[in-house]
Amino acid sequence: MREAYIVKGFRTAVGKAPKGFFKFKRPDELAAETIEFLINSVPDFDKYWIDDLIVGNAVPEAEQGFNVARLISLMGLKIEDVPGVTVNRLCASGLESLAIASAKIKSGMADCIIAGGVESMSYIPMTGYKPVPSYNTVSQGKEDYYWGMGLTAEQVAKDFNISREDQDVFSFNSHMKAIQAIKDGKFDSQIVPITVDETYLDENLKKQTKSEIFKQDQGPRADTNLDVLAKLRPVFSANGSVTAGNSSQMSDGASFLMVVSEKMLKKIKIDPIAKLTNYSVAGLPPKIMGMGPVKAIPKVLKQSGLKMNDIELIELNEAFASQSIAVINELKLNSDIINVNGGAIALGHPLGCSGAKLTVQLIHEMKAKNLKYGMVTMCVGTGQGAAGIIEII
């Protein structure tokens, strides 16, 4: 078995959906520009060396349809020789893409793959334009297979006794950590500056275009506080505890990494930064999908031979505060090493992009702190969990 190395990884800033700064930026364009930046960051790199482009996407239809990965390859690389494949494991799609790339390189099927994910929740509604539940499934009392994620968050809060107050505190802390990280420039080196052109009519009704560059996450709120969060109404259940304030934000974003073999490493003559050593997925009841990491984390640790104490930093995707707290409690995780620069409640959750985005964030923070082992883990819609272990080189 060969080794697979991550040599570069970048992400865009994350925009709020559907009215944020990427509301007029198509997802294929967003991804293409991110990949172009990634390629240009490797000196003297030949695009013809890329064997494949793997793109995670949670709702691959409309502007994200028609095997969007192939279109992104054509748009971003500007050659016709690199194929593309779109991968969908909902919220873990970006991490799944990285796992597939690593596995293909380790098996000898490829030497260089670009892997990551993109999602525009401004262009595509969360469940797509035409969700069609199976009548037979629903008639058998399995409506929860099709529950919206908010209902699953309420179920987790109920089943695991997570209070509204604890959820709001968790949300507040996420924002404060993210704001501090931005002030400290923690994300500056990992974010690709993206130009957005907006067309409008001036006072003489003549068409004008203005351009603006975005390179800072839009979601974190310095002005939030516990009083503000406490006043928000539940949005999924009248008597519930899950609000817009303690849920992840609908978002737009893209993130990609370059994964190569040792042979390619020697050809491009740069040092690797990390590798995905292990990756596991797991299933559980869809109605408590937020608990996915509770199943996936022990599985990936067993696969790797590592113990939880070996993991020095964790990116736990904050789909909701209720499930994040429940996962931390159930696994008795060390909160001090989890989402140290804030999580999706503050920074946003662009679905199919998030797994790759969290990996990029994890690698940059681990290298800054001179750490060795880290983990990216997330819950996944319809009752799944995913966890990957990153080793810094």
Q: What is the dihedral of CA 356, 361, 365, 366, to 10 degrees?
A: -10
364 in active site = no
Q: Of 91, 112, 175, 353, which is the active-site residue?
A: 91
Give dist(CA 320, CA 163) in Å, integer: 13
Give me the residues paired with residue 243 across strands.
234
175 in active site = no
- 186 Cβ partners below 8 Å, 6+ apart? 341, 364, 365, 368
Structural contact between residues 28 and 89, judged by C-beta atoms closer than 8 angstroms: no
Angle at CA of residue 319, ends 230 and 248, nearest 5°: 55
354, two tokens = 């998030």
Q: Of 112, 349, 353, 364, which is the active-site residue?
A: 349
16, two tokens = 């709020």
Interior/surface letters 114-130, b for 16+ CB within 10 angstroms, e for the rest: bbbbbbbbbbbbeeeee
Give dist(CA 258, CA 252) in Å, integer: 21
Give dist(CA 267, CA 245) in Å, integer: 48
Give me the residues paired with residue 328 across strands.
none
Give dist(CA 23, CA 198) in Å, integer: 10
Give dist(CA 67, CA 60) in Å, integer: 8
Q: Of 112, 175, 364, 379, which is the active-site residue?
A: 379
Cα-only R_g, the chain: 20
Give dist(CA 156, CA 111) in Å, integer: 42
Determine whether 18 is exposed, middle or buried from the number of CB atoms within 10 Å of its CB (0-12, 13-18, 19+): middle
- Closest C-alpha to 114, from 59, 187, 40, 39: 39
DSSP assigned state of 43: T
Structural contact between residues 260 and 2, judged by C-beta atoms closer than 8 angstroms: no
Give dist(CA 221, CA 349) in Å, integer: 15
349 in active site = yes
Instruction: Show which residues are catalytic.
Output: 91, 349, 379
